[in-house]
Amino acid sequence: LDSRRVYYDRAERYLYFVDAPQDLVIRTIRASLAGMRGVLEFEQLHLDKHRYFNGARRVGLIEEQAKTVLTALRLVGVTATVR
């Protein structure tokens, strides 16, 4: 993962990405879902049990949200892997 790649896990319904709160991926997710109902909770994942080293972020998306978000991300040049 990097700032131009995301990974969506259909089984778990999570979109994983590496991005700061004000950067492209999070802004695109928020903008694309602004008119849809639901609360987005962005979760920071860590590489260690002490939470010193940040890893990726993730957000849970239902199927309709995932389709919208993945399309929007592709339109702004982000590569999406779906499994």
Percent above pLDDT 70 for the chain: 99
Q: What is the pLDDT of residues 7-39, one digit of tens each?
A: 999 999 999 999 887 899 999 999 999 988 778
54-82 pLDDT, tens per residue?
Answer: 999 999 999 999 999 999 999 999 999 99
Closest CA to 38 of 46, 47, 25, 29: 29
Amino acid making up residue 57: R
Cα→Cα distances 23→2, 30, 48, Å? 12, 11, 24
